[in-house]
Structure 1
């Protein structure tokens, strides 16, 4: 009789260990899933915060606003080899052929670089426009003014 209890105890111990092992495994998997989702959300939030903190704001002159120009994506790139560039996606509601000046302003709105150009586009045309400021480093917080 004692041998039956002994084998029954071993069976229960093995079954319980396996059950505990499966429960622990499931809990670890769920925890890992939650942590990875939280980590991804944290990283996305951090990137968004950095992007909003360190970005240039575009200022379009009142005269150009009257031309019904819409501004899309604004981007800039600092590249020692190919020059430092401002890239802007513009949408033109009316045709335009106008001389403009693109100015880089620091966070206190003090000018530190400029380029003169001619803006040419047809009605309802959109395009990416790029201005190369050469070796002038484009600051990460400031303004880009087009007038």
Structure 2
């Protein structure tokens, strides 16, 4: 009888431990899930914050517009160093185009502080991402304005 009681008690304790272990695992998994979602939202928020902080703009010269050039999205990133000196623009060509397109960057006061030129050949109704890489000393500032000519 004493042995039966010991076996029964041991069974209850081992089953109870499994229940506690499973509950702990579930809690850890749920915590990891919540932290993962929070981290993802944090990263998205930081990226959006950087985008909003720079608040740069791009315009296309009238001359390029007459040649059928327009653009969609653009973004600014680092080339190979630690400075934001690369402008990537999704260019749209309404007409056949062959030639140079230059990008000039101006600060918030209108002072030019960088230029980059790219030679492009594109067919009518073609669109593609194009990188304008400025001098390594160029670091795109907040509220800068890019002009494509």
Q: Distance in 1 between matches of 2:109 and 2:122?
A: 32
Instruction: Decide whether the 8 Å contact of 1:102 with 1:144 is kept in 2.
Output: yes
How far does residue 65 in structure 1 lie from its aligned partner after superposition? Answer: 3.4
- After TM superposition, the score normalised by the length of structure 1 is 0.68
Alignment partner of 1:146 out of 131, 145, 148: 148
What residue in structure 2 maps to residue 137 of structure 1? 138
- Structure 1, unmatched stretches of 5+, are none
List aligned pairs for 1:96-135, cutoff 5 A: 96=97, 102-114=103-115, 121-135=122-136
* Helix, strand or coil at the partner of 2:38: helix
From the superposition, tell whether residues 49 and 94 of structure 1 become closer, same or farther in structure 2 (CA, over 3 Å): same
From the superposition, tell whether residues 9 and 145 of structure 1 become closer, same or farther in structure 2 (CA, over 3 Å): same
Instruction: Decide whether the 8 Å contact of 1:89 with 1:126 is kept in 2.
Output: yes
Structure index of larger Rg: 1
List aligned pairs for 1:1-147, cutoff 5 A: 4-54=4-54, 56-76=56-76, 77-79=78-80, 85-96=86-97, 102-114=103-115, 121-141=122-142, 142-147=144-149
- After TM superposition, the score normalised by the length of structure 2 is 0.67
Number of positions where the alignment pairs a residue of Structure 1 with one of Structure 2: 144
Q: RMSD of the alignment, in Å?
A: 3.4
- Structure 2, unmatched stretches of 5+, are none
From the superposition, tell whether residues 5 and 106 of structure 1 become closer, same or farther in structure 2 (CA, over 3 Å): same
From the superposition, tell whether residues 117 and 15 of structure 1 become closer, same or farther in structure 2 (CA, over 3 Å): closer
From the superposition, tell whether residues 130 and 34 of structure 1 become closer, same or farther in structure 2 (CA, over 3 Å): closer
Q: Distance in 1 between matches of 2:33 and 2:21?
A: 18
1:65-108 Cα shifts (integer Å, max 9, x gaps): 3544221343554457xxx5544332111245688653210133
1:103-140 Cα shifts (integer Å, max 9, x gaps): 21013332223467887654323345454543541424
